[in-house]
Amino acid sequence: MRRLPGVGFIGAGRVGSALAWHCHRLKYPIAGVVDRKPKQAWVCYGLLKLPHEKLKPSEVAERSDVLFLTVPDRHVGPEFVAVRRWLRPGTIVVHCSGVYGIEVFKGAEEHGIETLALHPMQSFSSHAQAIQSLPGSHFALEGTARGLRFGRKFCRQLEGGYTVVSGEDRPLYHAMCVFAANFQNALLDSAETLAARLGVSPRKAGKMLAPMMRTVTDNLVEYGAVPSMTGPVQRGDVDTVCQHIDVLKKRAPELVPLYRELTMRLVGMARRQGLARDKVKRLKDTLDRECR
């Protein structure tokens, strides 16, 4: 059997620790883990159930056949430059940024270093949740030939899918992820604001809304955004929309602009779903008139 490559990690946050945990589970030799915050590296070694080694980034780089730079986006390029001279030719260096491609690895080709951008389309709120959620995720890849071969194999080992997204398209791809993931937090925060006006705590509001939100998500995945759409806009119910705007103006005026923009988007979706033109016009006119 061919020996699996030794993998090292510079950056031991939630993503780095989860990747290290699964690499260890898949029998990849762990070349080392290091972090600017020594406690994070210590926690990662604890998760791996391996003896804690106090290493320098240069030592991890020198030991690694595959080096993951699981650091904040803005640190990927500088971190690579800092350890580049310790990397052997043929080493695969990987980052997990969504917005950047392999262009951040300045000088990699000249030094014979292979590169891979491997971004998990997933949300990680804790170490334990990251470890649990990583398998089955979809990944956005970009890389050199050997980098991509490793990336594809690794995705398959995690029972996930992958799509190759080139460097110039990475910001657009990452914006897509923000719409699908982070904006949900903004929407729930807005719902919690309205719940507070009703005297309902954020914790209780989350429990109240969770079953509906899960159903919506399941329907989105099963049928798509437009076909699964429900609610007053989908029905062309102008009176209900007017009541929403009226109460928001009185009790949560800071949410009126957001309500207008999102409802206007829903109107366009309802039109694609087949809502009659006169109802579409009435909804748009109402939003333009009442949300000034």
User: Domain segments of the chain: what residues?
Assistant: 7-168, 180-290
**In the predicted model, what is the mean pLDDT of residues 31-35?**
97
What's the whole-number mean pLDDT along residues 26-35? 97
At 2 the pLDDT is 61
The fraction of the chain above a pLDDT of 70, given in percent, is 99
Q: Model confidence over 62-95: pLDDT tens digits?
A: 999 999 999 999 999 999 999 999 999 999 999 9
Mean pLDDT, rounded, for 196-220: 96
> Of the CATH numbers 3.40.50.720, 1.10.150.120, 3.40.1390.20, 3.40.50.1240, which one belongs to the domain with range 7-168?
3.40.50.720
Give me 156's structure tokens.
Answer: 């398959």
pLDDT in tens, 6-25: 999 999 999 999 999 999 99
Mean pLDDT of all residues belonging to the chain: 96
CB-side neighbour CA atoms (13 Å) of 208:
13
Count the helices and strands in the chain (H runs, E runs).
Answer: 13, 7
Q: Are 173 and 98 in contact (CB under 8 A)?
A: yes
129 burial level (CB within 10 Å; 0-12, 13-18, 19+): middle
Cβ count within 10 A of residue 30: 21
Rounded to whole angstroms, the Cα distance separating 258 from 264 reads 10
pLDDT-derived band of residue 1, with 50, 70 and 90 as boundaries? very low
This prediction's pTM: 0.90
Taking the C-alpha atoms of residue 185 and residue 260, their distance in angstroms, rounded to an integer, is 18
Cα–Cα–Cα angle for 22, 25, 29, nearest 5°? 95
Q: What is the rounded distance in angstroms from the CA atom of residue 151 to the CA atom of residue 145?
A: 10
Adjacent-strand bridge partners of 69: 10, 95
- Altogether, the residues listed in the chain come to a count of 292
Helices (H), 118-237: 127-133, 145-157, 170-180, 182-197, 202-223, 232-235
- Residue whose pair of structure tokens reads 């020594």 in the numeric block: 38
Taking alpha carbons only, the member of 23, 20, 24, 2 closest to residue 11 is 20
